[in-house]
């Protein structure tokens, strides 16, 4: 039996990069998409890209911080009131603070872990009762190639550690939520051509692409959205606790 097309989707940090591609993808698939971010300018840009979806209330782009417990509760309440269930939760919001391993301030460490690791747990915990009301619920966590590889070129140790923790969280949540019929998976991109890299974006993408096993192509947010779409679909109905690499073979080298 095939599951229905996901219709109620929540993407954290959908105002940029991979998150914005995920919002676009699930809107294309006919879903109602809830997303949020902190920067009002980025939110305005996202809303402007999908005016009809905003007017038709298929895109709800809210101002909010994934690390704010009160906001998480409001978001879940908003979804409950409007839809009564959640089909797909994508923990995408993430930050990287580019400082050397021993130079990092403890506050920077804590801030990274709060966004990249604690918030995905907390939002999943808060949304679990709504996911239970879906016919085919799934949680997808945005991990990273850095989770399993201590690349010297990735200077942010707090980032790598947060993503390694997220991979274990994916498996632990898959165990805990499996009996309620909720699948939990991850996607681990290599270097993706996104705003996350700031001014180093073009150089980063090009340098890494040269080291890809698959022909020097840059990984785009849309490539990551393809993997997420698959994991959210009925074709992945027996896949849980898995993290799928999307890195053009980068981590093989």
Ligand X SMILES: NC(=O)c1ccc[n+]([C@@H]2O[C@H](COP(=O)([O-])OP(=O)(O)OC[C@H]3O[C@@H](n4cnc5c(N)ncnc54)[C@H](OP(=O)(O)O)[C@@H]3O)[C@@H](O)[C@H]2O)c1
Minimum CB–partner distance for residue 99 and ligand X (Å): 16
Q: Which helix (H) or strand (E) is 185 found in, with range?
A: strand 183-189
Cβ atoms of 20 and 12 closer than 8 Å:
no
Site string for ligand X, 124-163 (x = CB under 6 A): ------------------x-x-------------------
**Distance, CA of 79 to CA of 15 (rounded, Å):** 19
**How large is the C-alpha radius of gyration of the chain?**
17
Instruction: Specify the residue, 5 or 67, whose C-beta has the smaller distance to ligand X.
Output: 67
DSSP state of 97: -
Instruction: Specify the residue, 136 or 189, whose C-beta has the smaller distance to ligand X.
Output: 189
Residues 6+ apart with CB under 8 A from 134: 8, 85, 86, 87
Exactly one of 195, 203, 207, 249 binds ligand X (CB under 6 A); that residue is 195
Chain center to CA of 248: 19
Exactly one of 24, 137, 165, 189 binds ligand X (CB under 6 A); that residue is 189
Residues 6+ apart with CB under 8 A from 35: 10, 11, 12, 13, 14, 15, 19, 23, 46, 59, 60, 61, 62
Q: Which helix (H) or strand (E) is 162 found in, with range?
A: helix 157-178
Contact call for residue 37 and ligand X (CB under 6 A) = yes
- Catalytic residue list contains 50: no
Exactly one of 6, 13, 165, 186 binds ligand X (CB under 6 A); that residue is 13
Minimum CB–partner distance for residue 229 and ligand X (Å): 15
Contact call for residue 47 and ligand X (CB under 6 A) = no
Contact call for residue 184 and ligand X (CB under 6 A) = no
Cβ atoms of 2 and 234 closer than 8 Å:
yes
Contact call for residue 66 and ligand X (CB under 6 A) = yes
Options 51-59, 62-70, 78-86, 167-175: segment touching ligand X (CB under 6 A): 62-70
Contact call for residue 112 and ligand X (CB under 6 A) = no
CB atoms within 10 A of CB 216: 12
Instruction: Specify the residue, 90 or 128, whose C-beta has the smaller distance to ligand X.
Output: 90
| Interface residue list for ligand X (CB under 6 A) | 12-13, 15-19, 36-39, 42, 65-67, 92-95, 115, 142, 144, 189, 191-192, 194-196
Residues acting as catalytic residues: 159
């Amino acid at each position: 039996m095939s599951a229905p097309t996901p219709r109620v989707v929540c993407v954290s940090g959908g105002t940029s990069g991979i998150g914005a591609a995920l919002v676009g993808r699930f809107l294309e698939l006919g879903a109602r998409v809830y997303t949020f971010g902190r920067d009002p300018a980025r939110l305005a840009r996202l809303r402007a890209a999908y005016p009809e979806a905003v007017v038709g209330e298929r895109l709800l782009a809210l101002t909010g911080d994934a690390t704010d417990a009160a906001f998480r509760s409001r978001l879940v309440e908003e979804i409950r009131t409007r839809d009564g269930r959640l089909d797909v939760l994508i923990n995408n919001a993430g930050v990287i603070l580019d400082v050397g391993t021993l130079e990092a301030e403890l506050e920077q460490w804590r801030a990274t872990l709060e966004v990249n690791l604690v918030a995905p747990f907390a939002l999943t915990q808060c949304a679990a009762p709504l996911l239970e009301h879906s016919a085919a619920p799934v949680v997808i966590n945005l991990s990273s190639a850095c989770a399993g590889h201590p690349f010297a070129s990735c200077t942010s140790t707090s980032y790598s550690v947060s993503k390694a923790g997220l991979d274990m969280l994916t498996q632990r949540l898959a165990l805990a939520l499996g009996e309620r019929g909720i699948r939990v998976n991850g996607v681990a991109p290599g270097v993706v051509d996104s705003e996350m890299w700031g001014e180093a974006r073009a150089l980063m993408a090009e340098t890494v692409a040269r080291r890809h096993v698959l022909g020097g192509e840059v990984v785009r947010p849309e490539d990551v959205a393809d993997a997420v779409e698959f994991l959210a679909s009925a074709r992945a109905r027996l896949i849980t606790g898995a993290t799928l690499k999307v890195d053009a073979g980068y981590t093989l080298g």
